[in-house]
Structure 1
């Protein structure tokens, strides 16, 4: 129990004793006839005197348990933050990160899992684009007839029923855009000096994503049949071509369906999109129009900046855990307060385990690697327990000795993985923190039960004392009245009495 709780308990006991003294004086006053007893105060004082100690003890233990639970909550939060922050160090992801840099414009890249450091010559002939078709000009409100338009893209199609409700260009465009079976074609109306044009665009790039429009079931034709168009994908890496159903109302291509064409190290390759993932293992290249016609050098290198940031973050989070534990176990000889987990064996176990991991080497014998070998050491004050980073030494290790860093943070028994495994053991259901929390919650439940029982006992005792002292007060009042009557008759110390004056 903390010193604060002890002080509170002592204060409660002192207050109860003071009230009891006042109650005793009330009895004396009542028995001497100076006044009647203060039954309410007397009962309260006696009940408090009987229950104050237990009430204070239960309250103090309840406060202590809740404080300890909060302390474990703070410790668990710090441990969880550390575990989350070192996930990618523990599984090896961070030390497998690479940067990708192009020497020119229009080409960017990202390197992920499976990437290998190296330089690649990338020549871009053309980028991938999507097809856009423009119909011949019509009047904006011209009714084109009735029938069925079948619009297809990349092997998928939709049928548009055209009738008197939607047989203008804008009606057809709206029907295309709202169709639930739309394969990926958007329709707009562009109006020029010659009239309105229906413009169809493919949502996806690539040579195979060509748009075809066919007509059928035409019952009246005032231009509907001229909306037919056949697109042909290039098989040689070139652009798509089209053939209109009606040469006098010909469609035109304002955008071509084509693949991106490029070389990597002299090896020809293509992609239906400008986000190229299949050319270089683990690398995604992103092409824009500015890259067409250029040859650039793409350099894949270890991303030491990200790795340094991740390692510094690990040290910072570890230091937060150490600082949290230090606060929870603080003690000052000149102060009455102390950390809620001072002397706690569970926290000490966690502290020793973490310190052992960061202070040990990974590997055996002369091949073992420590954090100190990459510039991470404990502060000069051994009691502090936090670590400091020499970023110059860390940068040198990441650049000149990446194998050393990789060994230290390997995903099998590296520093981060050992910490991750230990934290899981501490915080999981059934772990040492959960076991302590379970015991504390069970104690709080027991305290609540005892407080309920004590409240019932207090109510019962109050009722009992109230009845007893009310009866006593009535009895003493009667006795005092009788005494005063007899004194009036027979006299007392300072009175002769009524009967004395009637003697013959």
Structure 2
């Protein structure tokens, strides 16, 4: 803080009052200022260290989540590929069998779309009160039409009632008027929608086809719901859905268009290696983060101020980073789900004895996959069996959650350090105020002293002049 006193010399005393006050004030505040400065630097450094750990752990948690996604398995032992992704896409699991399969899709599965009779007054057409029952696959959904309803309000009411059933309603206006159109996300033969109602136009009978030229006609639009039809190596398969999971063991096919294509299933060496490397990199980033916040720096040149040659890191000596590494390393060596692969070393993954990071030996990995035939067992090691809690991904997630969760260890430590930082800021404000007040007090005292000294000098000068004048007269 800048001193309000500018260095000056007292007119009466000739003393450098500004310098004297500054020296006294600095001497008074030195111990407390040193304490505040040291503690503030320490707290700021620790906050930075906690932030570094939190960032690395959050990234690791994200990697674990992505690697464990069930809709896109990262550790599938086998990879399926379609020769024409515009006609069908494929995924595979560890029960897939290497091979080549000829697929011919002759028909896609379709859903039901039926339309009511036309209302000539459009979406605002008044609809009399009554009941409307929609039926699909033997399941009835009932809607009560209130007084004052319009075609638009009925559509809105249907959507609010059927939002969890896959049914929906919309309004299409054609040359004859506005029709209430019912659609479904369910596909397959026999999944047609029918409707019964007190309102004549809403009655839609089974197997009735809409005549667009008839204002009173109601029924299915274009075609009834139908099932997909295809052949796999010449064998006929019929499916109510365009996603087929069980017809080709371990391979899930999503049909997109009719036509022929080839599905090839092979060992997923590259995919497995990429997923393992993703896990390794995310884990190593945590290890490196821990090292960066705990390893002290040793210098050949002593610090100019302290003379020290060792500079502690942000969290040197703190138990938190050691606890993190201990928990993670424990899961690396713990046997999880039973299977042919129970530890990472079987896949060529080893831990460095110097820095604790993981590395993948490609030669050992290739031998494990190609020679020992362990491709189908890798996923079980990482994702486990049953509820998956015995898989490495779940166990690693459980180990880091206490740190990363809201209100967890990182949040608690950060809140504590932030409180210390606030307290130090308040202490600095109080010290600055004390310095201001002490400076003002000492300045006032020294100025008063200077005034008195000036007055005494003036009196001394006056007395001296008097006696000099008196002596002069006597001598004359």
Match of 1:257 among 191, 205, 224: 224
Q: Is the 8 A contact 1:269 1:279 kept in 2?
A: no
Name which of 282, 291, 309 aligns with 1:317: 282
* Aligned twin of 1:72: 50
Residue 260 (structure 1) shift: 0.9
The answer for the alignment partner of 1:184 in structure 2 is: 168
The structure showing larger relative contact order (alpha-carbon pairs under 8 Å, at least 6 residues apart) is 2
Alpha-carbon RMSD across the aligned residues, in angstroms, is: 5.4
When residues 301 and 355 of structure 1 are mapped into structure 2, their CA distance, relative to the original with a 3 A threshold, is same
CA distance in 2, matches of 1:136, 1:352: 69
Cross-structure match for 1:210: 193
2: CA distance between counterparts of 1:253 and 1:175? 20
Q: Is the 8 A contact 1:341 1:347 kept in 2?
A: no
From 206, 213, 231, the counterpart of 2:205: 231
Mapped to 2, the partners of 1:126 and 1:384 lie a distance apart of: 59
1:501 is aligned to 472
Normalised by the size of structure 2, how large is the TM-score? 0.66
Q: 1:278 to 1:397 in 2, by over 3 A?
A: closer
Distance, in Å, in 2 between the alignment partners of 1:133 and 1:355 is 57
Corresponding residue for residue 163 of structure 2: none
* Structure 2 CA distance for aligned equivalents of residues 247 and 454 of structure 1: 91
1:83–1:177 Cα change, 3 Å: same
Equivalent pair of 1:331/1:342 in contact (CA under 8 Å) = no
Corresponding position: 1:54 with 2:28: no
Is 1:386 the counterpart of 2:357? The answer is yes
Deviation at 1:349, TM superposition (A): 2.2
Q: 2:116, 2:204 within 8 Å by CA — same for their partners in 1?
A: no
CA contact (8 A) 1:106 1:288 kept: yes
Task: Report the secondary structure of 2:439's partner residue.
Answer: helix
Contact 1:242–1:253 (CA under 8 A) maintained in structure 2: yes
Q: What is residue 287 of structure 1 aligned with on the other side?
A: 255
Q: Could you list the runs of 5+ residues in structure 2 that have no partner in the other structure? A: 160-166, 304-309
| CA distance, structure 2, for counterparts of residue 368 and residue 130 of structure 1 | 44
The change in CA–CA distance for 1:303 and 1:257 in structure 2 (over 3 A counts) is farther
**Residue in 2 that maps onto 1:220:** none
Q: Return closer, same or farther for 1:282/1:478 CA change in 2, 3 Å cut-off.
A: farther
Unaligned runs of 5+ in 1: 1-11, 167-171, 218-226, 233-239, 491-496
Q: 1:388 is paired with a residue of what secondary structure?
A: strand
Match of 1:353 in 2: 326
The DSSP-based 3-state class of the residue aligned with 1:344 is coil
Q: Quote the residue 1:340 is aligned against.
A: 313
State whether residues 397 and 404 of structure 1, in contact with CA within 8 Å, keep that contact through their aligned partners in structure 2: no
Where does residue 223 of structure 1 map in the other structure? none
Partner of 1:85: 63
1:171-202 CA distance string (max 9 Å, x none): x9x758855336634443445xxxx5767644
Tell me, yes or no, if structure 1 residue 458 matches structure 2 residue 435. yes
Please tell me whether the aligned partners of residues 77 and 377 of structure 2 are also in contact (alpha carbons under 8 angstroms).
no
2:448 alignment partner, one of 466, 471, 478: 471
Larger displacement relative to structure 2 (149-158 or 473-482): 149-158
- Distance in 2, matches of 1:198 and 1:429, equals 52
**Displacement, 1:148?**
5.7
Question: Which has the higher Rg, Structure 1 or Structure 2?
Answer: 1
